[in-house]
Structure 1
């Protein structure tokens, strides 16, 4: 049986600020992120299985990614919890804003790595995360590949 890669795409809006950065991204701003999630596995060969012929049901993959990434990060503002942005985060939270404090600089590179760990932990044992592509703008993105991280 062949290994097959399948990809599902997601979109979400997230704000962030890069503490200590020497450009405009030191200011709080947002992006319309696009996340492409590619998994690899063998299609189910059991003809009695309702998911016969599928590597993973797209709706199952959607549930995992929505719960781990999209629902958590959509319309949130992300700050590194080890920076003075925690003061701004506290103020925003006190006013009812959705704020996420992470232990990394919230760049696309670090976010895609975080997302990979979250998604990998939820996949069935016979399905492997192959790659993620996190697009921050129309022309800028970060990619994570399992083969680069073994």
Structure 2
């Protein structure tokens, strides 16, 4: 049986700031992120299975990514909690803003690593995460591949 890759795309709006950075991104700003999630597996061969012929139901993959990534990060502001941005985060939270504090500098590179770990935990055992592509702008993106991280 052949391995097949299935990709689902998502989009969400997230703000962030890069503490200590020497460019404009040290300021709070946002992006219209596009996330492509690719999994790999073999299509189901059991004729009695309602998902016969599928590697994974796109709807099932959507539920995982929405609950772990999109619904959490959409219209949130992300800060590294190990920086003085913690004070800004507290002020925003106190004013009713959706703030996420992470253990890392919230670059696309680090976010895609975080997203990969979150998604992998919820995939069925016969499905593997193949790759993620997190597009920050029309011309800039970070990619994560399982083969690079084995």
TM-score, length-scaled by structure 1 = 1.00
After superposition, the C-alpha distances for 1:12-46 in whole angstroms (9 at most, x for unaligned) are 00000000000000000000000000000000000
What pairs with 1:63-142 in structure 2 (closer than 5 Å)? Answer: 63-142=63-142
2: distance between equivalents of 1:68 and 1:55?
A: 20
Query: Is 1:41 the equivalent of 2:44?
Result: no
Q: Which residue of 1 aligns with 2:27?
A: 27
Q: Which residue of 2 aligns with 1:11?
A: 11
User: 5+ residue gaps in structure 1?
Assistant: none
Q: Which runs of 4+ in 1 moved over 3 A?
A: none
Q: Which residue of 1 aligns with 2:144?
A: 144
- Work out the number of aligned pairs and report it: 150
SS class of match (1:61): helix
TM-score, length-scaled by structure 2 = 1.00
2: distance between equivalents of 1:122 and 1:91?
A: 33
User: 5+ residue gaps in structure 2?
Assistant: none
